Structure 1
């Protein structure tokens, strides 16, 4: 039996939208927990598997890259199979991947399973926004989006704290079973609450473009990872780089000729959208790069436990949610360029603060600078959405929203990779000892501060109707 939203509303009554919203929040929060909580477990994984940063960072960047690719699959899968089947397949594959990770014996197995998890997250998460827009079409959409957004923002705040506590007491494997209860609830409840109807006309999926883009992304990440370990003339370095270049060119050529491109490149003909994309790349770098770098710094340099490192990020995440609400309110009163510039500069100040404080700084001082950065990111998120879409036509809005999210995730995947590359390079250049590690982290924070400060130039190119 195929259930559409109207049928489900009649079956469950007036409270159906609230039940559906709760389900969507639980599923999305499980995916976000998985993406952020891994960072507090990296030192423990490095110790157990006797590996270094050039390899362990794949647990973070592999997830983000696969999630980025999965975003492009989401709309087609939703249309072709319906929300229920798409979400349940993604959740089931995520659960299986998590259980297999508990018995993984090699690093490559963990990395492969994290990539599978990221793909599931990329496919499942966009379904929530589509269903919220549809089920709250008669009113209350803004409130529903606010509640959903707050829940999704709480997940990366709670993830490192809860995950760090579990890592301290049960080991790194706890990171993989932590989201499972939420996934099971979403999987079972979805059987009753999610619509199963499919679209009558499913847009053609460009599998060739999808394959080219996937190869380009992972080959480029592989090139950066191998360049940390070997010379550029080594085949294990230049071959992935060459493959990424060829696949990227083929993807662009395919997208230009396609009637319904996987990623509409025509959007970047708008100067304002190009500027917004630079901001989105930087936002991804800051959002995921800082979540990766700060716990690692706290554990390897400051000697924090995983639980204490995660606890430091908890108030920062809560402030990010509050700042996002403030940013949304300000978006109706100030131009996108002003808000984007302000958010970028606030985060740059935070990164500079973390670079400036000396080793042995108090918990409160480190927490303060982390909170400042999250306030900047909270201001950026709604301003980027309004600023990037304000310049597009009505027909381009849906494509633009997906494209800017894709670019932001891309910034996260490559940002973490590039920060790891820079961190390892500076650690080696400074002598390779404990002092060199401290200096390398400080220089990495300075690098983030510089990137955010420079991106202000792009932010002023984002025009809006205000």
Structure 2
């Protein structure tokens, strides 16, 4: 009697063990405050200008200083982990951020607040790449989907909840609490990290690529400063041209240097792996479009619809709900080899959501906008976990630290550039011939994030097909 062979279904990925769950929880606790803090200040700029009797141009440096310091320290993450161990670097990063938060809450002038924000940003720039690298090492490639779905929660919800929490604190308590609120979480994270994280001592002899650091960090900072000047009404042409041009020259010089050096600060040869290259490209475009949209969406409700800061934050909640729901549902799909399909669905949902916002010139109802925001959130929640899993699957464990640094730089650069492009487009439409209706100006501007979302379909389609778990590390398909 013959039997027809039935193809065996792929084995279910092993559950996350206690050690992996602990690392994930510690990292999420550490990341949530740093991500919130990047946007929580946005609703307090007028209050800070009044408090310190300075112009809005000066207060803008409270946000810009944080951004530049954040950007400057990211390239050090991979080298520092290899030399000193991820646990030590994590403790230093969270400690710097917490100390900076305390000092910001005690600031007595605008210059002191700006200086303390730089300290805070220096710590925050290390938290995300170090935390993600620790999670990737703890869970391994087979369980990366579920792990990154959880770690992605603060990255997706932080920009949405930041203005809401900031509005409540500024209106109900005092502006200082937008910084002091970080201290309990920071201290709890430090205490838990000391007790729960294993001491993974680094090699101790890892040489710092000094030339690479001298090219990359200033290049990223100059680029961020230049594109931020583009988005600022007070930005001069000298700042724009000098920042973008100088930054581009330094970054090109770094690429040439990195490709000739055995152990560069950031390992660009990882892009030879199809999985890493396409996943990083998807993150560059989608994190960019989501960061830029995080600038546009609140402004639309504040300017075109005349909502208050707190109401605006609450109206953006559907995006957070969609992101949380998607991340809760897609982690296991990624671990079962459905990552590329999940990414394609996510990018498509982003495009549909932004297409809905191109109609804001016709003043659609809040239900329409809520559905569009929910679609954007669903799309965002479908992207981070599978692209991270695809990127790390192409590399061996020893490469994780520097690969995480590379991806963090791509995300940050995409966010800065997209925000500048969207802000410039909005200014152009608002100041157009005859003065555009604010709704029409925003409707025209939302075609830009829609276009970037559609462009992200190209690397998403090129993501490699899932490999069997027994495939050798580093093989591409």
TM-score w.r.t. structure 1 length?
0.81
1:4 aligns with: none
Give, in angstroms, the shift of residue 120 of structure 1.
1.0
Rounded Cα–Cα distance in structure 2 between residues aligned with 1:311 and 1:231: 30
The farther-off stretch of 60-69 and 259-268 is 60-69
Rounded Cα–Cα distance in structure 2 between residues aligned with 1:297 and 1:66: 28
Structure 1: which 5+ runs fail to align? 1-13
Give, in angstroms, the shift of residue 308 of structure 1.
1.6
2:387 aligns with: 384
Taking the TM superposition and a 5 Å limit, the aligned residue runs for 1:196-345 are: 196=199, 198-227=201-230, 234-270=237-273, 273-332=276-335, 336-345=339-348
1:91 aligns with: 94
Rounded Cα–Cα distance in structure 2 between residues aligned with 1:164 and 1:233: 31
Give, in angstroms, the shift of residue 328 of structure 1.
2.8
Rounded Cα–Cα distance in structure 2 between residues aligned with 1:324 and 1:401: 20
Give, in angstroms, the shift of residue 243 of structure 1.
2.0
CA pair 162-201 structure 1, distance change in 2 beyond 3 A: same
Taking the TM superposition and a 5 Å limit, the aligned residue runs for 1:7-406 are: 22-42=25-45, 63-64=66-67, 66-83=69-86, 85-102=88-105, 110=113, 112-132=115-135, 148-150=151-153, 155-170=158-173, 172-196=175-199, 198-227=201-230, 234-270=237-273, 273-332=276-335, 336-358=339-361, 361-391=364-394, 399-406=402-409
The CA deviation string for residues 370-428 of structure 1, in whole angstroms up to 9 with x for no partner, is: 11101011111123223334455676565444423331222112222222222223322
Whether 2:454 is the aligned partner of 1:458: answer no
Give, in angstroms, the shift of residue 310 of structure 1.
1.7
CA RMSD of aligned residues (A): 3.8
2:14 aligns with: none
2:3 aligns with: none
Give, in angstroms, the shift of residue 256 of structure 1.
1.8
Rounded Cα–Cα distance in structure 1 between residues aligned with 2:426 and 2:62: 17
The farther-off stretch of 246-255 and 447-456 is 246-255
The farther-off stretch of 41-50 and 338-347 is 41-50
Q: Are the equivalent residues in 2 in contact too, given 1:286–1:412 (CA < 8 A)?
A: yes
Q: Specify the SS of the correspondent of 2:431.
A: helix
Rounded Cα–Cα distance in structure 2 between residues aligned with 1:455 and 1:56: 34
Rounded Cα–Cα distance in structure 2 between residues aligned with 1:303 and 1:198: 54
CA pair 262-223 structure 1, distance change in 2 beyond 3 A: same
Rounded Cα–Cα distance in structure 2 between residues aligned with 1:382 and 1:236: 37
Give, in angstroms, the shift of residue 96 of structure 1.
3.4
Give, in angstroms, the shift of residue 197 of structure 1.
5.6
CA pair 427-84 structure 1, distance change in 2 beyond 3 A: same
Whether 2:392 is the aligned partner of 1:410: answer no
Q: Specify the SS of the correspondent of 1:260.
A: coil
1:7 aligns with: none
Rounded Cα–Cα distance in structure 2 between residues aligned with 1:229 and 1:134: 40
CA pair 416-232 structure 1, distance change in 2 beyond 3 A: closer
Give, in angstroms, the shift of residue 77 of structure 1.
2.8
The CA deviation string for residues 168-207 of structure 1, in whole angstroms up to 9 with x for no partner, is: 3245443222222211222344444444563243422213
Give, in angstroms, the shift of residue 124 of structure 1.
2.4
Q: Are the equivalent residues in 2 in contact too, given 1:319–1:375 (CA < 8 A)?
A: yes
Rounded Cα–Cα distance in structure 2 between residues aligned with 1:286 and 1:367: 18
Rounded Cα–Cα distance in structure 2 between residues aligned with 1:270 and 1:136: 21
Whether 2:447 is the aligned partner of 1:446: answer yes
Q: Specify the SS of the correspondent of 1:365.
A: helix
The farther-off stretch of 70-79 and 395-404 is 395-404
Q: Are the equivalent residues in 2 in contact too, given 1:292–1:416 (CA < 8 A)?
A: yes
The farther-off stretch of 17-26 and 91-100 is 17-26
Q: Specify the SS of the correspondent of 2:465.
A: coil
